[in-house]
Amino acid sequence: MNVNATMMIAAGLASVISMAAPAVTAAAESEGQITILYDAFGTDAAMTKDWGFSALVEVAGKRILFDTGDDADIFAANVKAKGVDLTRLDFVVLSHRHSDHMAGLSYVLSVNPMVKIYAPKEGFGIFGSSLPSSFYRKDESLPPEMRYYGGKPPEIMKFGAAWGAAHFELIDQTTEIAPGISLIALVSDAPGTRELKELSLAVNTPDGMILVVGCSHPGIERIVEAAAAINPKIHLIAGGFHLVAAPDDVIARVTTSLKDKFKVENIAPGHCTGEPTFAALKTAFGDRYLYAGLGTSLPLAPTMGSGMRRGEVPELDDLSVYRKLASREDGNRYRRGAIAFGVRCTEWMAFRNGEATV
Ligand SMILES: [Zn+2]
Ligand SMILES: [Zn+2]
């Protein structure tokens, strides 16, 4: 074969390969692990179960802290029990403003005050915000002492964060913050959390999307749809699906949608997913249901690790906790359960008001 023919074949092969390659950016590596640092179910005796969520996501060469739990002291103890070094983080993601996801931030900042923190951009929110001063109506007939800023407002008005010295970067729309690593920004329209903004972490790996969700207030299906727009191959979803009080028909619809419509390959539900949803997903996904209780480390790989503990049912203690939280027949029992376990989300308030929370 002469040189020209060889070059033509090579060029042809290259064009086929480039046609087959996905148009989206894939992160360099798919391997890593997700370690659950905060949740209300699990079997690790060295860690404290509490309502809330946090996970250390090590993927694509990055160490990402996703959410920080409900109580700074418990979060600190769980982090130490797991031997996690929070001084070595690429960044933190706070999914949303509910305190069961961000109360541990004060501990993070005590050991790593300079870390970059991505959070949803909310008007007058606790992560800080800003607005052009043109947003408010002016009345030039008033004397200066009755006018805001004496009638000369700054062009941009800044509103403080609850953690004044923290390095927040506020996200308003879905953004690729590093190659292959996106934050999906959506807004809830569910009663009780209407207008709540939430970020989900979507990492585009050669094995498909790895999606980490906090509470899924905008709806797990909407979040998955947004991730699938980046890469339709959904390799793993971990985190809270917010179906803790959902009726069976809604759980069945979402389960079918995740399995058959989006063809999610592996599922590792936790936090506000809910006991009956754990059961439904376990039945639907079988050994592709990955147990993700407090303290679990989920290895990330093309075929999700063989030595991994899969699909275990929660312990009896955990079941009784969830039953208290999820009871729809007895509002007082639900309320007491919610308060006892420090539910800071608005699930029980919406329930009390007779509103669906999904
Ligand atoms: Zn939550
Ligand atoms: Zn929430």
> Among all ligands shown, which has an atom nearest to the Cα of 98?
2
pLDDT tens, position by position, 222-236: 999 999 999 999 999
**Of 83 and 334, which is predicted with more confidence?**
83
Q: Which residues contact 347 (CB under 8 A, 6 or more apart)?
A: 192, 242, 244, 245, 272, 325, 338, 357
Residue 11 burial by Cβ neighbours in a 10 Å radius (0-12, 13-18, 19+): exposed
345: CA distance to ligand 2 center in Å?
5
Q: What is the pLDDT at residue 26?
A: 67
Q: What is the pLDDT at residue 152?
A: 97
Q: What is the pLDDT at residue 192?
A: 87
Q: What is the pLDDT at residue 303?
A: 77
**Of 6 and 81, which is predicted with more confidence?**
81
Q: What is the DSSP letter of 83?
A: T
SS (H, E, C) 200-237: EEEEEECCEEEEEECCCCCCHHHHHHHHHHHCCCEEEE
**Of 12 and 212, which is predicted with more confidence?**
212
Q: What is the pLDDT at residue 338?
A: 39
The stretch 51-72 carries a mean pLDDT of 97
Please give the share of the chain, as a percent, with pLDDT higher than 70.
77
Q: Supply angle C-alpha 45, 50, 53, rounded to 5.
A: 105
215: CA distance to ligand 2 center in Å?
5
Q: What is the pLDDT at residue 355?
A: 40
pTM comes to 0.79
From CA 166, how far away is CA 278, in angstroms rounded?
36
Q: Given pLDDT bands bounded at 50, 70 and 90, which one contains residue 30? A: low
Short-list 150, 149, 230, 138, CA closest to 185: 230
The stretch 161-179 carries a mean pLDDT of 95
From CA 149, how far away is CA 151, in angstroms rounded?
5
Q: Given pLDDT bands bounded at 50, 70 and 90, which one contains residue 202? A: very high
Q: Which residues contact 1 (CB under 8 A, 6 or more apart)?
A: none
Residues around the ion ligand 2 (C-beta < 5 A): 98, 215, 345
294: CA distance to ligand 1 center in Å?
15
Q: What is the DSSP letter of 260?
A: I
Residue 251 has pLDDT above 90, yes or no: yes
52: CA distance to ligand 1 center in Å?
5
The stretch 114-124 carries a mean pLDDT of 94
Pair of tokens at residue 166: 């923290």
> Among all ligands shown, which has an atom nearest to the Cα of 350?
2
> Among all ligands shown, which has an atom nearest to the Cα of 240?
1
Q: What is the pLDDT at residue 15?
A: 44
55: CA distance to ligand 2 center in Å?
15
134: CA distance to ligand 1 center in Å?
35
**Cβ atoms within 10 A of the Cβ of 187, count?**
15
Residue 356 has pLDDT above 60, yes or no: no
120: CA distance to ligand 2 center in Å?
13
Q: Dihedrals φ, ψ of 60, to 5°?
A: 55, 35
Residue 322 has pLDDT above 80, yes or no: no
Residue 331 has pLDDT above 70, yes or no: no
> Among all ligands shown, which has an atom nearest to the Cα of 97?
2
Q: Alpha helix (H) ranges present in 50-195? A: 72-81, 99-102, 105-111
Residue pair 106/130 in contact (Cβ under 8 Å)? The answer is no
293: CA distance to ligand 1 center in Å?
15
199: CA distance to ligand 2 center in Å?
11
Please give the share of the chain, as a percent, with pLDDT higher than 90.
72
The stretch 330-354 carries a mean pLDDT of 39
From CA 264, how far away is CA 22, in angstroms rounded?
18
* Among the ranges given (26-30, 158-162, 277-281, 291-295), the one the predictor scored with the smallest mean pLDDT: 26-30
Q: Given pLDDT bands bounded at 50, 70 and 90, which one contains residue 283? A: very high
Rama region for 221: left / alpha / beta (φ>0; ψ in -120 to 50; rest): alpha
Q: What is the pLDDT at residue 24?
A: 57
Q: What is the pLDDT at residue 319?
A: 44
The whole-chain average pLDDT of the chain stands at 84
